[in-house]
Amino acid sequence: MMNKRKNVLVIILVILITSIVTFTATTFFSIEFGDKVIISKKDFVQYQKLSKLLAVKSIIQDNYIEVPEEEDLYTGAVKGLVRALDDPYSVYFDKQEFAELLEHTQGEYSGLGLLVTVDPEDNLITVVKTFKDSPAQQVGIKIGDKIVNVNNQDVTGDEFDMAITMMKGVEGTEVDVRIFRPQEKKFYDHKIKRAKVHIDTVASKIYDKEIGYVEISTFDNNTAKEFETHLDGLIKQGIKGIIIDVRNNPGGSLEQVVEVTDKLVPEGLIVYTKQRDGTGEKFTADKDWVEMPIAVLINGGSASASEILAGAVKDRKSGILIGEKTFGKGLVQQLWPFEDGTGLKFTISKYYTPSGKCIQDIGIEPDIKVELPEEYKTSSIIEEKDDSQLQTALDKVNQMINE
């Protein structure tokens, strides 16, 4: 009898040890006794919180007027979980949405050919750029327009990524878009045919034979390489100063903007990030940089990665900022792909300029404030002679060259 009890204790002890090892590896502690399962208190509390979700799912499946797709219910639940963060930059993507997001970062996609951001003042999706000859530009969509409805579905900043996904699609198909133009206080409805949009994120030219000009429209996976090619070409032509234009650039890849900014500031800090536990990462420049007069053009559409570039140039005193205050997005997102092709984009940290400033909801002030003429403030096309910000930059760079 004694040996039998001893054997039972040994078995229980082995089960406990095995369960503890399993708990350490999987963070879920459980012991099975026949059809009974013992779980940790922490996991039981978690189960209790999830039980309502499962109960609602069951009620809907059993009683809703139409039989729902179970996968749609799970997808909706996960999207709702992320939406509860109340962060327009954190989004769960289904398989198609995530594939389209990844496609967009490669520099080519089928859609309308515009760049948008969320205006923090009204939480509306706001156009910050339309690409040349794009479907959006052809129907007359302008900078500053608010996209309020896509395919008969109202959208705000809370549906930012969903709206972008809805506007993209198969080349040649149509999408209905309603925009509100604040300056005119009017709504406009457009039926737009999607087209293949190739984004050359960098363009350049030379002014007065010695001032290089580089426009960066966004920071995707090819931007740093494109920038280096354009910069090398300008240097070979003998430029003595340079203007970097990131007006209406909504941002993009942290890694790409760091590579670009590395060429614009001397050796040292470019930007650093902080996560919620206080840890983070520092990004620095090496000794190889463009040692010549630099001006950076900014405005309210310059956001995120654009502000990293502007903040580094300003704080490291390697150039001057000209234009208007930037958007004020000091957050960093991470993409988290899942094996089934879906994905999660969520905010993981804040970034800080070299002087220690987090510009979230604040923005960066220019060194020289210059506003565009009123008639051009909402236009994506402006004559160079009327571009007061560009003309000021040309004058200032020319002055610095001759000092």
* Active-site amino acid positions: 304, 315, 329
Query: Are 368 and 390 in contact, with CB atoms under 8 Å apart?
Result: no
State the DSSP H helix or E strand holding residue 270, giving kind and residue range, or none if neither.
strand 268-274
Distance of CA 136 to the CA centre of its chain: 21
Neighbour tally for 239: CB within 10 Å: 25
Nearest to 259 by CA among 295, 214, 296, 305: 305
State the DSSP H helix or E strand holding residue 352, giving kind and residue range, or none if neither.
strand 343-352
Read off the tokens for 220: 């995707």
* Angle of helix 160-167 versus helix 95-105 axis, rounded to 10: 80
Query: Are 224 and 270 in contact, with CB atoms under 8 Å apart?
Result: no
Read off the tokens for 130: 């339309």
Nearest to 185 by CA among 156, 144, 140: 144
* Spatial separation of the C-alpha atoms in residues 386 and 379, rounded to whole Å: 12
* Spatial separation of the C-alpha atoms in residues 87 and 149, rounded to whole Å: 20
Nearest to 251 by CA among 318, 146, 316, 327: 327
The number of C-alpha atoms within 13 Å of 371 and in the hemisphere containing its C-beta is 5
State the DSSP H helix or E strand holding residue 153, giving kind and residue range, or none if neither.
strand 153-154
* Spatial separation of the C-alpha atoms in residues 144 and 184, rounded to whole Å: 11
